Chains A and B, each alone.
Chain A
Amino acid sequence: MTQDSGHRAYPPLAGRIYSVWYRHMRVYSSNLLSNGLPPFLEPLIFLAGIGLGLGKYVPNFGAIPYVGFLAMGLPITTAMMTASFECTFGTFINLEFNKVYDGMLAAPISVNDLIMGEILWAGTKGFFFAFAVLAVAAPFGIIPLPGGLVMPFAGFITGLMFASLSLLVTSYVKTISFFNFYFTGFLSPMFFVSGVVFPVEELPEALRYVSELLPLTHPVRLARALCLSQFSSALLFDVLYIAAFTVLAGYLALKRLRRRLID
């Protein structure tokens, strides 16, 4: 039984990260119906409600109807929410309750592999959830095609971003109910000032600067611009913000969670 284990090497970095990602994917897809259907139902209900109800009272935003404006922000906020749930409640449960991470750290998986696999998985969920919004909205012409095809990828990037931030938040949390502050105190208000529901330009002067500092503003603006093929050099700032934010939050999260995972 022991003849050759010493000779084989442990898997390379990419293989290790993939195996962590794969574990999350398998557990998620083992309840395909309950996990896979709501991402499609939620935007359907939301857009129907807005489109049939509220949308009638709101004037068009330039060339596009209000529903269209809102629908182009929705893949991003959905990706944000799913990645945030995954890397707060999900991560906390894996860390403290079902001890999934302890299992991985008994195998040749490092803390780095584990965190990167986690972030990558949250990005994947962002991709999938953004795709679901697109799949619901595109047939009604609410999100234009082919520009709308950028949405799942924007969802992926948004997922990475908020996975990193959420892991950093999780690294401070000792009691699971503290995540409520993060969700109702930070993510929900951000929804209203990041150009999802109405353009950032409509905000009072002071709030506009705040909005530029918030992470959600940038993927929303980037995705909507790409979707409508409205390119400008200002978007470069959004790209840089997203990259820097993800790397910085991810790095700090890794550093702090390492202390929690390794005694």
Chain B
Amino acid sequence: MCPGIITVQNVHKSYGRTKAVNALSFTVREAECFGLLGPNGAGKTTMMKMVYGKAERDAKPEGLIHVSGFDPQHNPLNVRHLLGVVPQDDNLDGELNVYQNLALFAKFYGLTGKAAKKAIEPLIETMELVDKRHSKIRELSGGMKRRLIIARALLNAPKILILDEPTTGLDPQVRHMIWDKLRQMKKNGITMLLTTHYMEEAFQLCDNLIIMHKGEKIIEGPPRQLLQQSMEKYVLDIINKDHVDKIQACLDSPSIRADLSKETLHVYSDNIEALNEISALLEPGDYFLRFSNLEDLFIKATGRALDDAG
């Protein structure tokens, strides 16, 4: 019926006069990881909430969301029964222990007694929480809480997992571990819809992504391909701007794109030689030459201005 397991077509969402999502369309194929990227206030979380019926899209006849054949606006319970949500905040029950938290949530899916135990035990194991089974939530580290929330989202063997910034605020070890777990789940056929600020995370996990800005889609595609097509290969970050006049002449070359932010000059090019020539004019500590990454693309696409307000 639909080309993807999640289809979003021409969706709008306004809060009062503010437009949070503007004519957004995308399709998530089964068993892929799809990323929604964008600065704060880009409309990523709002879009996700509309997918599981926590937010309602503006009533426009052309707007459409389908999740495995259901419209979350009209059949929110059908949709939520087949997907799991990992929210941005930890909303675990602090008074209860790990197992009790999972058992309470299992009940929301109608899993009780043996069925609940059968669902919970393997998840405690895969999420490496066996020793913490009887620990209260306040005794857990941030990483353990995250793993528990992911376990909770997996209780009903969901087809789709919705992840809202799953590794924000975690240390690198835990982030890598969670990425491994998520990759494993993708192999098991779970479709993922992910929001993140971390470009590395998107690169590590996503098969496809869109970059959003002010509620609109500005770029779409597989991360590697996007980098190749829309981004110069190398970046020279010039940290000490005092020397900018020295290299001004070199910046006029057509193979070079320069982007001056407040304190740093970024020089982009596919030609490493050109960048090497520039760096030769600078002191060793004043620059940093590297491959471009998704973050550079993100900034190229969304601009450098902070956009916390909207």
Contacts of A5 in B (CB 8 A): 81-82, 156-159
Among B15, B156, B185, the one with the most A-chain Cβ atoms within 10 Å of its Cβ is B156
Any B CB within 8 A of the CB of A16:
yes
> In the complex, what distance in Å separates the CA atom of A107 from the CA atom of B158?
11
B interface with A by C-beta (< 8 Å): 15, 46, 49, 52-56, 68, 76-78, 80-82, 84-85, 87, 89, 91-96, 100, 104-105, 107-110, 153-154, 156-159, 185, 188-190
In the assembled complex, the Cα of A3 lies from the Cα of B89 at a distance in Å of 29
A142 to chain B, nearest CB (A): 35
Known: A2-B159, A99-B87. 20 other contacts (CB 8 A): A1-B188, A1-B190, A2-B190, A5-B156, A5-B159, A10-B78, A10-B80, A11-B108, A22-B104, A100-B93, A102-B54, A102-B87, A103-B91, A106-B84, A108-B77, A108-B80, A108-B108, A262-B53, A263-B15, A263-B54
**Count of inter-chain pairs, beta carbons less than 8 A:** 107
A58: Cβ under 8 A from any B Cβ: no
Pair A9/B107 contact, Cβ less than 8 Å? no
| Residue A23, interface by CB 8 Å | yes
Determine the chain A residues whose CB is within 8 A of the CB of B94 once the complex forms: 98
Number of A positions contacting B (CB below 8 A): 33
**A4 within 8 Å of B (CB atoms):** yes
Interface string of A21-36 (1 = CB under 8 A from B): 0110011001100000
What 0/1 pattern do residues 90 to 113 of A give for CB contact below 8 A with B? 000000001110111111111000
Please tell me if the beta carbons of A263 and B157 are within 8 angstroms of each other in the complex: no
CB distance from B6 to the nearest CB of A (A): 14
Chain A residues closer than 8 Å to B154, beta-carbon distance: 1
Alpha-carbon distance A27/B49, docked complex (angstroms): 27
A110 to B20: give the CA distance in the assembly, Å. 24
Residues of B within 8 A of A108 (CB): 77-78, 80-81, 108-109
Contact with B along A7-22 (1 / 0, CB 8 A): 0111100011001001
User: Which applies to chain A's interface (DSSP): helix, strand, loop or mixed?
Assistant: loop
Q: Which of these, A10, A99, A263, contacts B91 with CB under 8 Å?
A: A99
B109 adjacent to A26 (CB under 8 Å): no
Residues of B within 8 A of A103 (CB): 87, 91-92, 105
A103 to B80, alpha carbons, bound, how many Å?
11
Closest A residue to B157 by beta carbon equals A5
Which residues does chain A contribute within 8 Å of B80, judged by CB atoms? Answer: 10, 105-109
Q: Is the CB of B110 within 8 A of A262?
A: no
CA of A263 to CA of B84, assembled, Å = 19
Give the docked Cα–Cα distance between A30 and B76 (Å).
31
Per the bound structure, the CA–CA distance linking A15 and B111 in Å amounts to 10
**Across the two chains, which residue of chain A brings its CB closest to B55?**
A263
Q: Please give me the residue from chain B that is nearest to A4 by CB atom.
A: B157
Cβ-closest 10 pairs across A and B: A11-B110, A263-B55, A106-B85, A107-B108, A99-B91, A10-B81, A19-B107, A108-B77, A108-B81, A103-B91
A59 at the interface (CB under 8 A from B): no
CB distance from B175 to the nearest CB of A (A): 22
B81 touches A19 (CB 8 A): no
* B76 and A110 within 8 A (CB): yes
What CA separation (Å) do A98 and B78 show in the bound complex? 26
Cross-chain contact of B109 among A4, A99, A107 (Cβ < 8 A): A107
Residues from chain B with a CB closer than 8 A to the CB of A262 are 53-56
Contacts of B82 in A (CB 8 A): 5-6
